[in-house]
Structure 1
Amino acid sequence: MVLVFGYIRPQKSELLVREYDQYKAVYCSLCRQLGKSYGMMARLTLSYDCTFYALMQFAVGTECPGFHAGRCVVNPLKKCAYCNVGEKELIAASALSVIMTYYKIKDDIADSHFFGKLRSFFLLPFAAHARKRAARDFPWMDAVVSRSIEKQNKTEQGDNPCIDACAEPTSEMLRQVFASIAGKPEDPESAEARILRQFGYYLGRWVYLIDAADDIGKDLRSASFNPFILKFQLSQSSTQEELDKVQNYANQVLNHTLSQLIAALNILDLNHFRPIIDNVVKKGLPEIQKEILFKKEKMHVGSL
């Protein structure tokens, strides 16, 4: 199950200095909020993905946060910037961060080898405590993530599951998470809510697919489940030509998914941070896709 992603990040070289400073300020503000809400250890769950969730909440909202200079909460010798407002958005992003991390650790315990299990068992008590507090304040969020994991496990354990079925739980999870940004429970079918659901769905699908493509080599070595390996019947004796075929197929389905994601973004009304959001989706994600599929050292049969 894809939970802590790390793929949803900007292409920094294409951001203006002002825009990058704003992005960093939201990132640092989320780090500080994680510590305030769930303790110092919770800062280890900080990710680009939940930073993007916080940014999207700000972008759709009516109030744009200003920023002020401060000291890094981890390294007091380092200067950084923080949001002046937006505690509600940062609290929600913090809750999502610790909830996803908890279920990721549980998943690692079930799937990892000895040393992976040992590390996960060590982290589990801290994650469980933070998740309990987050689930108390955001029960709907915990339920969404929990249901997605249950559905993912059932799908992967089924008979010959297709790639679309495997991507569905993560797609559905982010569909519901991003729909919550609309903040209009009295009007769940508003145009804004529908677009955010569409945006979240295709973002979740892209994340699942890129993670699966990124893990092909590792999953071949460990004989772990991977929908691309299953579809193309790959093994450690597969030729480079067969691996290239999978790579090109993955690129096609990712490009189609990305086109749907961008289409949803283009019709979404954003009040703030449009250049940063556009950068992440239209430049950051394609660059990561290119890097994973084409810039990484090619897999050779002998290295699998």
Structure 2
Amino acid sequence: MLGYVKIDKGELKVREYEIYTGYYCGICKSIGKRYGQLPRMALSYDAAFLAVILASLSNKSDLPVQEHCIAHPLIKKKTIIRNTAVDYAADVMLLLAWYKLIDDANDEGKLYAKTTIRLLKKIYKKLQARYPKLCREMETYLSHLASLERERCSSIDMAAEAFSKIMELIFSEGIVTLYSQNPSGFDDPEKYNKTYSLMANIGYHMGKWIYMIDAADDIEENADTGAYNPLIYRFNYDENLETTAQFRERIESDLRFNLYHYLAILSDYIDSLDIKKNKGIIENVIYLGLNRKTEEIITRKDKDKQI
């Protein structure tokens, strides 16, 4: 997850915003308590959405507490939410950060990545022991994705598939981790299996959207550096024939069609979930936050500064 899955703050109720940030701060606290302060740098609002949607399937109420924040010790106490969904989202976020560091170190030789890998290696070993299937399959998909990128694959569907499968895995394994041994909120195995399938599809189609929106966001940077971007190869960008602004204008209709197609499918699966709490937050992200981010990046409007 890359920082694109956010709320539309202006359309969220005050209480809902407090709960949402409580999940975000809860993830930060979870990391600090279990792994130390350094890994907190990988914190992302994407992880907050993962925690919110996983927790929304349980009948258990959120139990917010007020605590001081280590990053802002002089500011009044903040709302913190702790539950198993928060811990799982924190772990997933650290795994994704770890694999990103590995990619940066291997492909780009970045010194900061090599240094941070040494510092986080023990943490990764703990996560690998806790989630062997998740780590094993994520590594397989990431290896395939890296291969496609090295080949400069011109198929957006092929390039996006590997990342989409990672997201599918993250969301579906969240159901297994949180509910397979303690099926709170599930009346029978059939309902559990249906929820597992829905969450897998939510993760998959969100992965499609994230991969393409990230590619759209990075057009200028990738065109300048020569880094792989599926859009550049799919639509044959040539710096000698057009500017990146002209390229964006040329592919805008294709981008818009595909991105909103992914969001339409995603919303259908969200609508089928039996959400027991925080529905307003989830709907805000899916129907407002992601749409806003889509328009923001397609049209290159200023990025959201509200969070």
**Paired amino acid for 2:58:** G
SS of residue paired to 1:271: coil
Counterpart mapping for 1:126-141 below 5 A: 126-141=119-134
Q: Which runs of 5+ in 2 are unaligned?
A: 182-188, 303-307
Contact 1:178 1:200 in 2 (8 A): yes
Q: Which runs of 5+ in 1 are unaligned?
A: 298-304
- Does 2:168 align with 1:175? yes
Q: CA deviation at 1:159?
A: 7.0
The aligned counterpart of 1:300 is none
SS of residue paired to 1:74: coil
The aligned counterpart of 2:28 is 31
Counterpart mapping for 1:1-304 below 5 A: 4-78=1-75, 79-83=77-81, 85-86=82-83, 88-112=84-108, 117-158=110-151, 160-183=153-176, 190-239=193-242, 240-296=245-301
Deviations along 1:20-75, whole A, 9 cap, x unmatched?
A: 00011111111000011111101111111111111111111221212121211333
SS of residue paired to 1:77: coil
Contact 1:30 1:94 in 2 (8 A): yes
TM-score, structure 1 normalization:
0.89
Structure 1 residues 167 and 76 mapped into 2: Cα distance closer, same or farther (>3 Å)?
Answer: same
Structure 1 residues 199 and 277 mapped into 2: Cα distance closer, same or farther (>3 Å)?
Answer: same
Deviations along 1:178-198, whole A, 9 cap, x unmatched?
A: 112333659598211111111
Matches of 1:185 and 1:76 in 2, distance apart? 39
SS of residue paired to 1:228: helix
**Paired amino acid for 1:198:** N
Matches of 1:143 and 1:61 in 2, distance apart? 28
Matches of 1:238 and 1:149 in 2, distance apart? 33
**Paired amino acid for 1:139:** P
Matches of 1:144 and 1:51 in 2, distance apart? 23
- Number of aligned pairs? 289
SS of residue paired to 2:74: coil
Matches of 2:281 and 2:8 in 1, distance apart? 9
Contact 1:98 1:127 in 2 (8 A): no
Contact 2:152 2:228 in 1 (8 A): no
Tell which deviates more after alignment, 176-185 or 197-206.
176-185
**Paired amino acid for 1:89:** A
Structure 1 residues 238 and 218 mapped into 2: Cα distance closer, same or farther (>3 Å)?
Answer: farther
Matches of 2:164 and 2:14 in 1, distance apart? 33
Deviations along 1:225-256, whole A, 9 cap, x unmatched?
A: 11110011102224244431123311211011
Structure 1 residues 217 and 137 mapped into 2: Cα distance closer, same or farther (>3 Å)?
Answer: same
SS of residue paired to 1:190: helix
Matches of 1:212 and 1:39 in 2, distance apart? 33
Deviations along 1:102-157, whole A, 9 cap, x unmatched?
A: 11011112333x6xx02212222123222111111122222232122111012223
Contact 1:37 1:91 in 2 (8 A): no
Matches of 2:32 and 2:153 in 1, distance apart? 43
SS of residue paired to 1:76: coil
Tell which deviates more after alignment, 233-242 or 262-271.
233-242
Matches of 1:97 and 1:160 in 2, distance apart? 27
SS of residue paired to 1:69: strand
**Paired amino acid for 2:87:** I
Structure 1 residues 159 and 39 mapped into 2: Cα distance closer, same or farther (>3 Å)?
Answer: closer
Structure 1 residues 196 and 77 mapped into 2: Cα distance closer, same or farther (>3 Å)?
Answer: same
Q: CA deviation at 1:96?
A: 0.6
Contact 1:170 1:208 in 2 (8 A): yes
